[in-house]
A and B are shown apart, each in its own frame.
Chain A
Amino acid sequence: MERLLADHLLSILVFLPAAGAGLLLLFPRALAREAKLFALLVSVLECALSLPLWWRFDLAARGFQFRERMEWIPPLGISYSVGIDGIALVLILLTTILTPVALLFSLSHVEKQVRGFSIAFLLLETGMLGSLVALDLALFYVFWEVMLVPMYFIIGIWGGPRRIYAAMKFFLFTMAGSLLMFLAILYIAIRHHTATGQWSFALEDLYRMTFTGSTETLLFLAFALAFAIKVPVFPLHTWLPDAHTEAPTGGSIILAGVLLKLGVYGYLRFALPLFPDASLRFAPWLGVLGVIGVVYGAFVAYAQHDMKRLVAYSSVSHLGLVVIGVGAFTTLSLQGAILQMVNHGLSTGALFLLVGVLYERRHTREIDAYGGIAVVVPVTTALFLIATLSSIGLPGLNGFVGEFLILVGTWTSPHRWWAVAGATGVILSAIYMLTLVQRVFWNPLVHEENKSLSDIRPSELLAAAVLVVLMIWIGVRPNDVLDRLGASVEALQETVAAKQIASRAP
């Protein structure tokens, strides 16, 4: 057992939720609450299992760790090959933490088709973890797509009034990107076959390939598009507000917390190392789009009168910053970007959660329906305030560290002005978030129905508290995370640099 855990930790992590979902299928419909609890239990167990990764992770090691590899479809060279580096590690932890949080919240709020909800959620977790650990392009693609289905159901069945439109948009948008990536993946594998004579989709093998000129550009674009849509990068972001807004709170938490990150992760893991030259050539565009995202997202967020939409657009803004960091491609900016992904997952997750708390009581997300409720729901207010501060990057909380590293890293890159432009985010975010806080929690308490609002429940409080604690923890001891990123980021940069040299050589 011990050995099994040791040798197949990743596989267990990936497939445990799926197994849980399978067991849930056997639950009779009647046992709704039990189903929820079971799903929660599984996700908590999952979280516990993922902790060993955290401390057994070798900080110094450059390559992938916890490797597992088996033949899967030998004639096509598709292998079940998994492993993680620091980048994947932190995102995996983020996933395994956010999932129970989301489920814990849903525990008291999802009432219809509970069993289905739990199943979808667990499958979703499998999909996310799978695509985080996959080191084989085909395997990655499988998980990447499989993720869509449960999310489609989560939005479509348990979502808000415009859920169908949102679900469709989400699915088609993402598909549109990934189908092109699918062709690109095939093409790469074929090229590898013609070059070496054997089929392989394994990342290490494909890393060795070098493409040139327009081929590389096209392939890169195919990949980049898929990931850019997921991130999302302006102007491909319009699925996000709808999806986030219509999804049930739990879904929003996962969407914002993890799914978006997979876009950046995919870019770092695949697009960059596979097509270093092209990505270098397009880095300026990426940075510019990132800057646009930061400013644009912030502006549009300010204009919203739906709380969830506002938070959704704030995600656009925050991930714009992450994109800047990736585009700058310095050690600092990359570490910052990855850390910032975690931070965004925590703070935005918390924001969605607390908005959900209000929504469940008042059944509206209209900002104007609230106002002055700090008196009636002090605890919620306090938590929301902390989440807000974390999201607008107050030093001492997590958000600041990521932002600062990204910006300082970008400043030291050739593209200094991105930092200048991106840093305006600190002003803009303060503007729209504090306006939101004021309009929702402060000002006179006018609406009668708000006077009887009940404050946050223990289960919700627990869920939120987990996030708040992590915010403070990362804010005070960011090194715990950064230490795990350093080696991997440098390794990534080396891979890219090496390939660039290789492709320069005739």
Chain B
Amino acid sequence: MTPLWLIPVIPLAGFVLNALLGTRLGKSFVSLVGVGAAGLTTLAAFGRILPFLRADRSTVVEPVASWIAAGSFSVDIAFRLDPLSALMLSFVTFVGFLIHIYSIGYMRHEATDAGYARFFAYLNLFLFAMLTLVLAESFLLMFVGWEGVGLCSYLLIGYYFDREYAAAAGRKAFVVNRIGDYGFLLGMFGLFAVFGSLNYSEIFLMAAAEPARFSPALSAICLCLFAGAMGKSAQFPLYVWLPDAMAGPTPVSALIHAATMVTAGVYMVARCNVLFRLAPEVMLFVAVIGCFTALFAGTIALAQNDLKKVLAYSTISQLGYMFLACGVGAFTVGMFHVLTHAFFKACLFLCAGSVMHAMSDDLDVRHMGGLKSKIPITYATFLVAALAISGIPPLAGFFSKDAILASAFEAPGLGKVFWAVGLLTAGLTAFYMFRIVSLTFYGRFRGSAEQEHHLHESPPSMTMPLVVLAFLSVVGGWVGLPAVFGENANLFEKFLSPIVAPIAGQPAAHHAVSHATEWLLMAVSVAVAASGIFLALEWYAKGEGRVPARLAASDPGLYALVADKFRVDELYDVLFVRPFAWTARTLWKVVDVLIIDGILNASAFLVELAGDFLRFLQTGNVRNYALTFLIGLTALVLFVVGAV
């Protein structure tokens, strides 16, 4: 049985090999090492997961060594296997593996061996970081992975570093994440101050044991932690980096910015559900943020013409869904959506990559159209994934999304509002997904001639993962059938429920709604989704987009605003970026140069000046010397004897 630490270490080894030798040993070696590492670690992972599933599924903690021990502070390098990490582990490794394979085909055209090696090295490094994040037993170790994935995303977004926008996007991603991590850090400080430890097991046990004692401190702490999640999982207002992140190669977008990394925030919140549950107001905050982000991003997605941008905003919106779920206390549901989303969103992105491939790196949907026949596999898989995300039963997305809406509905307080907004968003999702579907695959080709000439289906190394992911997008949801299909239908719920540990003095809040209501809710959401799809097809496939054009024309200002993503980036530019630069310059030029050095140089100068004047007392005339002598003497005598 493989030790847990081996799972992250395998890709790390792959990274080291590729980083040091990759450039010299050429592409085939690199792909071998890179994909091999991914595959091995996947095997290793499942080598742990399957027994775990069969066994009693109790938490396993495997300490490796003491990492930091100073005074009262001590953190070990220890890994943890429990349902939650098992879940993440499973799809992170598997999807990761698939995307590695996909990358072979996708990056084939990469000019230099160096670049190719770099790419796979980064991917492996990412796997290492992500797995550390997932398997960590302590907040600090998780933070290692947390920042590690941030670094990889930074590197991979900026993979085409010689393009300024890519480099800038990478930097933006890192900095914005750092803002979130700042919160995460403070949260950890708080945790250590309160619990005297950073290990999950201890903290959660203590918290669950005596909620009354800890809950006051926890609201602030959870808020800080959630700030981290907002950064990592691109929630409003920290989502701005994710759209830009599309500057990276498409597999990266699929793996990091859709399937795995961005869900780390949700994972973290779910991981800390005990703490969050002790901070209800933060829970509400989470829900609100999630809900708002879902709608907000969904709206923006409506008016984007860049295929990947649409998917990016859709990702943000879906992440909002997940936080909504967590916010209303349905952590397992949130994680369920994480899982399904991983499948169909990865699939969508990879398809987009394949489209891009066909379109010779053009992503503007306005240049596409009628690709259905040219790239059938891509089309088919894309369609499936689109249906899945739109929430059409019995595809994966339907179950998870429906579960979220249901739990929002049953949630007390603002629950109904959340439900309504969620529903609306579902409609939007269906609409914009099929908008791009129609624009891309239906109608006639709108691109340039030689684009058309180049159009071709991608190699199997790329299409094969598509098929697998599409398949998963179909069946992925069946592990979590809603209660209406029988009490034990929801295997997922059952599997994951242990992580939502009971808190002393709090009833395990589970008030199921009547089956009737549940059926009704399902029906509604399906109806909304279907209408969204229908409308999209009507307007864009059949209507060639005349209706929306007219709509846009009717209120160009509004349309422009949406198309410009509500100009949030511009706003930030005015609010933060420019003032920052200005302050920096001012502090330097005024405080440093003018004031401090000014004072110093001035005083030095004055002394010199005094010297320059005083030296002219030395007139060279002996009589003056005699005079100064006498004056000095007289003054002295006056001072000393004069009094007498």
Contact = CB atoms under 8 A, between A and B. Distances in A.
B186 A420 contact: yes
A426 B178 contact: yes
Contact of A331 (B70, B161, B186, B188): B70
A401 B68 contact: yes
B144 interface: yes
A426 B182 contact: yes
Contact of B114 (A378, A423, A485): A378
Contact of B186 (A395, A423, A478): A423
A389 interface: yes
A169 B19 CA distance: 44
Contact of A424 (B71, B182, B193): B182
A161 to B, nearest CB: 17
A411 B66 CA distance: 23
A235 interface: yes
B435 interface: no
A1 interface: no
Chain A CB within 10 Å — which of B68, B70, B188, B581 has the most? B70
A427 B175 contact: yes
Contact of A445 (B154, B162, B186, B592): B162
A485 B68 CA distance: 13
Contacts of A394: 147-148, 151
Interface string A420-448: 10011011001100110010011111000
Q: How large is the interface on B (under 10, 10 to 19, 20 to 34, 35 or more residues)?
A: 35 or more
Interface in B135-183: 140, 143-144, 146-148, 151, 154, 158, 161-164, 167-168, 170-171, 174-175, 178-179, 181-182
A143 to B, nearest CB: 26
A394 B177 CA distance: 12
Given A336-B70, A405-B70, A235 B189 contact: no
Tell me whether chain B's interface is mostly helix, strand or loop, or mixed: helix
A332 B588 contact: no
Interface in A25-79: none
A303 B588 CA distance: 7
A332 B70 contact: yes
B175 to A, nearest CB: 5
A395 B148 contact: yes
A404 B171 CA distance: 23
B326 to A, nearest CB: 25
Interface residues of A, number: 60
A462 to B, nearest CB: 16
Nearest to B73: A332
A158 B580 CA distance: 36
A443 B192 contact: no
A162 to B, nearest CB: 12
Interface stretch (A93-101, A269-277, A294-302): A294-302
Nearest to B132: A396
A374 interface: yes
A395 B132 CA distance: 12
Contacts of A156: none
B192 A408 contact: yes
Q: Which of A304, A408, A424 has the most CB of B within 10 A?
A: A408
A459 interface: no
Given A438-B168, A442-B167, A332 B587 contact: no
A375 interface: yes
A329 B181 CA distance: 25
Contacts, number: 147
B167 A300 contact: no
Contact of A443 (B147, B167, B174): B167
B140 A375 contact: no
B185 interface: yes
Interface string B65-109: 011111111000000000000000000000000000000000000
Given A302-B580, A396-B148, A408-B192, A332 B72 contact: yes
B600 A238 contact: yes
Contacts of A443: 161-162, 164, 167
A486 interface: yes
A311 to B, nearest CB: 15
Contacts of B193: 411-412
A408 B73 contact: yes
B71 A486 contact: yes
B484 interface: no
Contact of A426 (B181, B596, B600): B181
B583 interface: yes
A23 B154 CA distance: 51
Contacts of B69: 479, 482-483
A374 B166 CA distance: 14
B570 interface: no
Interface in A360-405: 372, 374-375, 378, 382, 389, 394-396, 400-401, 404-405
Nearest to B19: A382
A412 B192 contact: yes
Nearest to A411: B189
A372 B154 CA distance: 17
22 contacts: A172-B604, A296-B591, A303-B588, A303-B589, A332-B73, A378-B114, A394-B148, A395-B140, A395-B147, A395-B148, A404-B140, A404-B185, A408-B73, A408-B189, A411-B189, A423-B189, A426-B182, A427-B178, A431-B175, A442-B167, A443-B167, A478-B68
Given A299-B588, A395-B140, 20 more contacts: A299-B580, A303-B581, A335-B70, A394-B147, A395-B143, A396-B144, A404-B68, A409-B73, A411-B192, A423-B189, A426-B181, A431-B175, A438-B158, A442-B162, A442-B164, A442-B167, A443-B167, A444-B163, A444-B164, A483-B69
Interface of A: 169, 172, 235, 238, 241, 296, 299-304, 330-332, 335-336, 372, 374-375, 378, 382, 389, 394-396, 400-401, 404-405, 407-409, 411-412, 419-420, 423-424, 426-427, 430-431, 434-435, 438, 441-445, 476, 478-479, 482-483, 485-486, 489-490
Interface of B: 19, 23, 66-73, 114, 140, 143-144, 146-148, 151, 154, 158, 161-164, 167-168, 170-171, 174-175, 178-179, 181-182, 185-186, 188-190, 192-193, 580-581, 583-585, 587-589, 591-592, 596-597, 600, 604
In the A-B complex, the 10 residue pairs with the smallest Cβ-Cβ separation, listed nearest first, are A331-B71, A303-B584, A411-B189, A442-B161, A442-B167, A395-B144, A302-B584, A303-B588, A300-B588, A299-B584
